[in-house]
Amino acid sequence: MNNDKKIFGIAATFKTPDEIINAAKKVSSSGFTEFDVNTPYPVHGMDKAMKIKPSKLGFVTLVMGLSGASIALLFMYWTMSVDYPMVIGGKPFFALPAFIPVTFELTVLLATVSTVIAMIALFFRLPDNKHPLHDTDYMKSVSADKYGIVIESTDSKFDEKSVTDFLKNLNPLKIEIIYYPPEDSYPIFQPKFIIFLIVVAVLVSGGTYITLNKLLYTVPYNFMMDQDKLNPQKPSELFADGRGMRTPVEGTVARGFMPYPYTGQTNPPEVLANPYLPTKENLELGKSKFLTYCSPCHGNFADGDSRLRGQFPNPPTLHSTRARDFSDGMIYHIITNGQNVMPSYASQITREERWAVVNYIRVLQRAKNASDSDLIEMKKETGSNVTN
């Protein structure tokens, strides 16, 4: 017997699953607590035979999952509600439903990653490349077709002779004493290793400095810094007028867009008709755009009473006979093309919005110049007593 080595434990090998189950029951019943069973595949009932308590790995998952949820909620609350409050889409500062996806992801991430790390590093104590069972005949046999049990020397009841006799009474195929492997030392503070570290540090530092401060500023690596470009609202030496922002080439037409064909003409052709019906939605759109773009000069009810208080000449009322006799196309043409001192609003109002403004102007004209038939019809619809 080799007394120069430290004993890790005494192992016994068995032939069948029933024998290892019986051995595990007797070992645990005899009061041994520091022992382990090795089998080539999971054996049903082994946990009960070894009297193994439920794993505490679930507590790691629970604690880290709750930590992930708390970190996510606190981080989003601090960034979006305290440090830099933001209201997005009308949501409150602490929009819990919007925070749930990120909270869920961080909960799952921390729970799963911490579970795997704890299982490998803490519970299984892996990787342990110098475990005493490695490269032993016992491990080779129980990894193939045999079943084994090891009583470790750290057990309070461990005694080499008594444990050996105890295992012999279980009728094993073989009993083997497992020793700790000899410890190897690798001193790192040797002159050649120190020199190696210094050389690596100098090469890495020098290479990093040259790359970031010299190489990236040479052709062609400087193409991202010295690129010929025009910044918005900045002057440019490339053009004679010194302007960086260029106007489109005359006659340029955007893809999928048809220019207004009657620009510059006094009267549009009669084929220019309103393609939109005066629905409730269309009139609401027309009212919104009229009050925004038209009412400053024409007044809120198109009476020509400018709200700009003499800053511009007041336009004529839109309730005159001439204005009421305008076709829808003519009003649309004036909005698009402009007339006299009135500029074009084609760049401010879309085509649909211009037609909606035309419909709203018609509503204002009819309300201001209602006929008898209009009043009678309104009386029928409302049931009110309407008189001239």
Q: What is the pLDDT of residues 31-49, one digit of tens each?
A: 999 999 999 999 999 999 9
Task: Assess whether pLDDT exceeds 60 at residue 16.
Answer: yes
pLDDT of residue 91: 79
Of residues 350 and 271, the one with the higher pLDDT is: 350
Token duo for residue 155: 């057990």
pLDDT of residue 261: 83
- Count the neighbouring beta carbons within 10 Å of the beta carbon of residue 138: 22
Same domain for 333 and 227: no
Read off the CATH number of the domain in which 284 is found: 1.10.760.10
Q: Enumerate long-range contacts of 228-236, CB under 8 Å, 24 or more apart.
A: none
Euclidean distance between CA atoms 368 and 321, whole angstroms: 12
Residue 13 counted as domain residue: yes
Same domain for 214 and 306: no
- The counts of H helices and E strands in the chain are 13, 4
- Count the neighbouring beta carbons within 10 Å of the beta carbon of residue 360: 23
Residue 238 counted as domain residue: yes
Residue 253 counted as domain residue: no
Same domain for 208 and 168: no
Same domain for 106 and 30: yes
Of residues 331 and 368, the one with the higher pLDDT is: 331
- Interval 107-114 mean pLDDT: 96
Averaged pLDDT score across all residues of the chain: 87
pLDDT of residue 4: 66
Residue 275 counted as domain residue: no
Residue 237 counted as domain residue: yes
pLDDT of residue 380: 67
Domain stop point among 204, 225, 247:
247
Same domain for 344 and 239: no
pLDDT of residue 218: 85
pTM: 0.44
Q: Is the dihedral of CA 360, 366, 367, 373 positive or negative?
A: negative
Residue-range definition of the domain harbouring residue 205: 186-247
Task: Assess whether pLDDT exceeds 50 at residue 388.
Answer: no
Same domain for 176 and 74: yes
Same domain for 127 and 198: no
Of residues 201 and 341, the one with the higher pLDDT is: 201
Of residues 68 and 2, the one with the higher pLDDT is: 68
Euclidean distance between CA atoms 80 and 82, whole angstroms: 6
* Tally of domains within the chain: 3
Euclidean distance between CA atoms 109 and 115, whole angstroms: 10
Burial of 34 per CB tally in 10 Å (0-12, 13-18, 19+): middle
